[in-house]
Structure 1
Amino acid sequence: MFLPYKILIAYMENGKDKMYEVRNVYFRIGIVLGMLAAVITIVYFTPMPEEYFLSCDRPCHHLDWPMICRVKMKIEILQYQTVFCENCSSNSTSCRSICLRNRLHSTITTNNQIPGPALHVCQNDIIVVDVLNAIPGKSLTLHWRGQPQNEMPLMDGVPMITQCSIPGYTTFQYKFRVTSPGTHIWHAHSGSDIADGVFGALVVRQPHKFDFHKKFYDYDLKEHTLVISEGGDENSIKNHYSPRALMINGASSNSGKETHTFTVKQGKRYRFRVAYVGGLFNCPVQISLDNHILKIVSLDGNPVLPFEASSIDLMKGERVDFIVNAKVNEGSHLLRITSLLCYESVREVNALVKYNNGEATGNENKKLSNPSYIRPSATISAQEQRNFSTRPCESKVGHLCVETAKSASKMPAQLKTERVDRKIYLAINRNTDAGGNQKQLLSTSRVYSMNNITFVYPSSPLLSQYEDIPGNLKCNLYRKPSSCLNDTTCPCVHIEEIPTGSSVEVTIIDQVGDSKENVFHLHGYHFYVVGSTNLEKSMELENIKELDSKGKLFKRNLESPVLKDTIRIPKYGAVSFRFIADNPGIY
């Protein structure tokens, strides 16, 4: 007789459970809706950053979150009229000769300026650059020299290797994380576009806590960044390029009226960052500061153990950081940039380093109306008088070579062994005409090659469409298309395949000898320069391999070699460098 009661209690308990379940569902839905409302409220009332030119120039701290730095670059042709002769006297012959050359000029600018906008960011920031090519009928790409692009090899900026070229009146977006700190540059990949003015500084600072050289300087001002370039009378689009002057940050002091002034305070130490983008010519430059010794702390963005020099020689594409100790008496001192080897007369651009009792304020453009206040260059003692050159050579008293520099980072143990996993020899040579008339070829055109292979750009980007390239167009020293077997030089897509993670040594040899030196830049990597020699004459590749196998080519430095991404190859010289192939991609 108690059964109905028990059933009733069971039904009541089941009803309560269902009510609790419904309440729990509503409660959970309420929590989700509340969180969603909070997120929408925060997003709505949070001020959004500007679409373009969000500056990431700030003190870098190791606890800060990375920033997204968005920039718009508009590349276009600018026409202008020279005004060099506006203050000429009627009897000034030299000035009249300049005036006779006055005409409408044109150049290529980025955001209506040369150099283009300087990017000052912190390590691990994300850069987003919208490039608008506003030049009709011309395509280009931008390369970010010094950034290995570990995460985004598609952003390396090499036409038909990592991307298609940017056609006229179209926009392309570069987006990547800046992982390599130091002084770097961005520039058009084409040498002629660099000569026309498509370049700028890319400075990636580290948090002060991780800066290897923080104890050597007091100030690292963005105003103390110098981009050196060659100026021309016409842009290369019209095929009339002639070097007119050297320039610092787009300004030349050839007229003797204007230059940059860098202000320093006595007793303080300042870090100067210098990048040489060059032009159409392989003209090295020399940097010196009157009455001061320069403490070199970085090469190609890579820290080195500090050493001192009275002057520094750079080749195009190279960068150097040095410390100026403002301990000389007050006054103004000439910072001299002198072009070497290329011209019959010396080409020079000067700036001023001015002592100021007040706080350092950076730099300003100033007319040198009274140059008498510039302190004359004092004689530097013989012990301090030494030139540093990034050129591989034999160091001697008063002259230091790139082998003198020692990397602040230890060379990986995998690269310290005598043998490496992959050894590559690349001999720079040049075509001759069918009759072997070398003299006639020199007077007309020069078609260079490596291992007698002239690189031909593929029809599709290799990185994204590798399989679209026909197999008979891919080649290297040991695998050439059948159409090239009987030819001295083979035009094809030269590819050296390297297994990921392997240790690699590359030896580059100059067999041509028709210039003082060549410049080699490796994308995607920094490398250790382990050896170099001057052969003094052209040698066959097989003979060089034999000398190297016997250990007679040069002695390798496997203890503390310098770390770079750009190296100079001397006339009839050979240079070897090593790296670990840990950055997959096509470079």
Structure 2
Amino acid sequence: MKLLVCCLMIIVNISNNGKASIESFTPTSSGILFEDTTKNSDQSCHRPCKFNVKPRRCYYSFVIEPTIQESGRPAISINGMSPGPAINVCVNDVIVVEVKNKIPDQDETIHWHGVEQRGTPHMDGVPMVTQCPIAYGATYKYAFIASSPGTFFYHSDSVSHQSDGVYGSLIVNQPQPLEPHSSLYGYDRSTENTLLIAAVFPQLLTGNLEDASGMQPNAMTINGDEGNFKIFVMQGFAYRLRLINAIAVECPVLVRIERHEMVVIATDGRSVKPAAARTVLIYPGERMDVVVRASQETGGYWVRARGTGVCAGLVADAMLIYSGFNYTSMLHQGQNELAQDSDWSAVSGQMLESLQDVAEGPDPKTVYLGIDKNVVNFKENDVDFRYISDAIPKKPFYPASLALKESGVVQINGKSFLYPNSPMLLYPRDVKADFTCKVGEEAKNQEPQCVLTMEPEGEMLELALVNEGFGSNDSYTFHMHGLSAQIVATWQSPDGKPISREEFEKLMEDQKVVRNIRNPPVKDTFVVPNKGYTIVRIRADQAGSWLLECRACALSSLPTAVLINVPQKMPKSIIKSLAKCGNYRPPDVLLN
């Protein structure tokens, strides 16, 4: 009888482990996240994850500053490294990162890409939305729960800082029996088998006053190395590799392994139905977990990342080394087989299917988001260059980017995004009403820039992101903060013609838009193809102010984003504990 009771208790603990741990660790006061829950003498957070073990407090200290790397290239580094320190924790651990900004005359924030921030929306790392920026010489402490397992990464919210080196991996592991595809591989070495793919520019983008759109990356790296990173395997065993595209500009990357097939098992930290692939396509900010079996003869094989888009022509290589093989011969032989292979047809994250079917419900109302590069016309005498106070009547403000970008700027529904004058999440009443505009009511605001916002009418929100393609031939990658998106449809015009709002609505009316509402992939990063659309469904079940942004669009232009506000009331104790903005205002707000 005692044995039976013991077995039942173990089963209950296993089946309820995730939920119970999360609920018991949800912050109830502003200080609980900083309490040390580690009682074991072993303080390491990178450890085998086990059942019925208290979560740990994982502390990291980041100093972000300009450095010169061993290669002689200047970079913005974290603790002297780029990529920055790898974060490896177990699900439900508390991650605490103290960030000190030592970049002269530059503000900083860190975004935890793909992390849900359940209960901690103020830790999402978006300046003037979820926090005040970290000024030069200041320190800011992030603290949040690793509530979901998966492959994530962190980076500066600034596209320039990220491109110059402020990024790193963030892996959240869980007990192996909970991994849906653990039977497919024998080894999951998240430190040795995580590949962070990045692009390198010929000069620092940080602080560069020139138009950065003309600057093209001149190299790509894997874990900071252009060709010497090594993955060691034993013949006959299967390994889980975690691939991360940490590039901030529009640079999709094709990855393949010489003479080896891959099996895709997860995208953006979410498990999917296994899909065999010889090549995978990973967009900026996307992550993809693949299984590779060391099934070939003992030897060395090349892993190649090939850039497309603005990275066309660039490659970065790593080595897959079988145990006992002397890999020095690979350096002399080169990558002949990979170089000669012209078939790079690939599997992308939006082609995959979710592991679990989605529960059916009523179809939500579709919200149209038209994306295109627009030229904003204005006369020279329309420009008012004065610093303007509220007491002085003003003309509409036209930022310098509009005058410098003769080819236009990427906008959503004809508007560029304006960062609020006060953090929207923390002090919503302080955000000036004439700075904002709502999706669907953009015409009420005459400015080319506004804080473009929307509030979901129900729990499920459907967004139709339509890349109209009248002003450009570019595809755009979007990232959804805090909330996960079901990718229910992706389509591109077969005849290469632009698509207008009226044409899209006609397709909807004629029921020619085909949706996968049964098992769509659940992602936080997705692409909207040129002259096509991507339809996403977002379950707005987490309170916060969440940015849906095209990061690459903002490198040399104005921000392209929508702020999705899920109603919440931040506790006063939390607001009081956070750093204040003082008299800080973003430059575009100052000039507005």
Q: Does TM, normalized by the shorter one, top 0.5?
A: yes
Q: Are the equivalent residues in 1 in contact too, given 2:277–2:347 (CA < 8 A)?
A: no
498, 510, 523: which one pairs with 2:456? 498
273, 292, 295: which one pairs with 2:242? 273
- 2:122 counterpart SS class: helix
Q: Are the equivalent residues in 1 in contact too, given 2:236–2:295 (CA < 8 A)?
A: yes
* CA positional deviation for 1:261: 1.6
49, 54, 58: which one pairs with 1:60? 49
Residue in structure 1 matched with residue 411 of structure 2 by the alignment: 449
* CA positional deviation for 1:198: 0.4
1:562 alignment partner AA: P
* CA positional deviation for 1:48: 9.6
353, 374, 386: which one pairs with 1:431? 374
* CA positional deviation for 1:193: 1.0
1:581 alignment partner AA: A
Paired with 1:389 and 1:75, the residues of 2 have a C-alpha distance of 36
* CA positional deviation for 1:321: 0.6
* CA positional deviation for 1:289: 0.5
Q: Is the counterpart of residue 351 in structure 1 residue 318 in structure 2? A: yes
2:412 alignment partner AA: M
Q: Is the counterpart of residue 226 in structure 1 residue 226 in structure 2? A: no
TM-score by length of 2: 0.75
Paired with 1:162 and 1:495, the residues of 2 have a C-alpha distance of 14
Q: Is the counterpart of residue 151 in structure 1 residue 93 in structure 2? A: no
Q: Are the equivalent residues in 2 in contact too, given 1:293–1:310 (CA < 8 A)?
A: yes
TM-score by length of 1: 0.76
Paired with 1:367 and 1:324, the residues of 2 have a C-alpha distance of 19
Residue in structure 2 matched with residue 586 of structure 1 by the alignment: 545
Paired with 2:474 and 2:432, the residues of 1 have a C-alpha distance of 38
Residue in structure 1 matched with residue 205 of structure 2 by the alignment: 236
List, as ranges, runs of 4+ consecutive aligned residues in structure 1 with deviation greater than 6 Å. Answer: 46-50, 373-376, 378-382, 440-443
Q: Are the equivalent residues in 2 in contact too, given 1:162–1:463 (CA < 8 A)?
A: yes
- 2:47 counterpart SS class: coil
* CA positional deviation for 1:528: 1.1
1:497 alignment partner AA: E
Matches within 5 A, 1:259-338: 259-279=228-248, 281-338=249-306
509, 533, 558: which one pairs with 1:574? 533
User: For the structure 1 residues 113 and 230, does the alpha-carbon distance in structure 2 shift closer, same or farther, using more than 3 Å as the test?
Assistant: same
Say what the alpha-carbon RMSD is for the aligned residues: 2.9
* CA positional deviation for 1:423: 2.5
Q: Are the equivalent residues in 2 in contact too, given 1:234–1:242 (CA < 8 A)?
A: no
Q: Deviations over 1:303-340 (max 9, x none)?
A: 01111111111111000010111111100000111112
1:348 alignment partner AA: V
Matches within 5 A, 1:155-234: 155-221=123-189, 222-234=191-203
* CA positional deviation for 1:386: 7.5
- 1:413 counterpart SS class: coil
User: For the structure 1 residues 378 and 314, does the alpha-carbon distance in structure 2 shift closer, same or farther, using more than 3 Å as the test?
Assistant: closer
2:520 alignment partner AA: P
Q: Are the equivalent residues in 2 in contact too, given 1:333–1:374 (CA < 8 A)?
A: no
Q: Are the equivalent residues in 1 in contact too, given 2:77–2:166 (CA < 8 A)?
A: yes
Residue in structure 1 matched with residue 354 of structure 2 by the alignment: 407
How many residue pairs match? The answer is 479
Pick the structure with greater CA Rg: 1
Residue in structure 2 matched with residue 507 of structure 1 by the alignment: 464
Residue in structure 1 matched with residue 508 of structure 2 by the alignment: 548
Q: Are the equivalent residues in 2 in contact too, given 1:147–1:524 (CA < 8 A)?
A: yes
- 1:275 counterpart SS class: strand
Q: Are the equivalent residues in 2 in contact too, given 1:462–1:586 (CA < 8 A)?
A: yes
Q: Are the equivalent residues in 2 in contact too, given 1:521–1:566 (CA < 8 A)?
A: yes
Residue in structure 1 matched with residue 479 of structure 2 by the alignment: 521
* Identity score, percent: 30
Q: Is the counterpart of residue 139 in structure 1 residue 128 in structure 2? A: no
Paired with 1:76 and 1:381, the residues of 2 have a C-alpha distance of 41
Q: Are the equivalent residues in 2 in contact too, given 1:195–1:230 (CA < 8 A)?
A: yes
Residue in structure 2 matched with residue 36 of structure 1 by the alignment: none
422, 426, 433: which one pairs with 1:460? 422
Paired with 1:574 and 1:114, the residues of 2 have a C-alpha distance of 35
- 1:495 counterpart SS class: strand
* CA positional deviation for 1:342: 3.1
2:55 alignment partner AA: P
Q: Are the equivalent residues in 1 in contact too, given 2:185–2:239 (CA < 8 A)?
A: yes
Q: Deviations over 1:134-161 (max 9, x none)?
A: 1121101100011111110000011111
Q: Deviations over 1:396-451 (max 9, x none)?
A: xxxxxx4541111321333xx4x21x432111123324279xxx989646322111
User: For the structure 1 residues 561 and 505, does the alpha-carbon distance in structure 2 shift closer, same or farther, using more than 3 Å as the test?
Assistant: same
Q: Are the equivalent residues in 2 in contact too, given 1:334–1:352 (CA < 8 A)?
A: yes
Paired with 1:491 and 1:443, the residues of 2 have a C-alpha distance of 15
1:202 alignment partner AA: L
Q: Are the equivalent residues in 2 in contact too, given 1:331–1:374 (CA < 8 A)?
A: no
* CA positional deviation for 1:189: 0.9
Q: Deviations over 1:242-268 (max 9, x none)?
A: 412110001113xxxxx1121100010
Q: Are the equivalent residues in 1 in contact too, given 2:164–2:205 (CA < 8 A)?
A: yes
Paired with 1:315 and 1:576, the residues of 2 have a C-alpha distance of 17
Q: Are the equivalent residues in 2 in contact too, given 1:62–1:209 (CA < 8 A)?
A: no
Structure 1, unaligned runs of 5 or more: 1-42, 84-104, 254-258, 359-365, 391-401
User: For the structure 1 residues 373 and 541, does the alpha-carbon distance in structure 2 shift closer, same or farther, using more than 3 Å as the test?
Assistant: closer
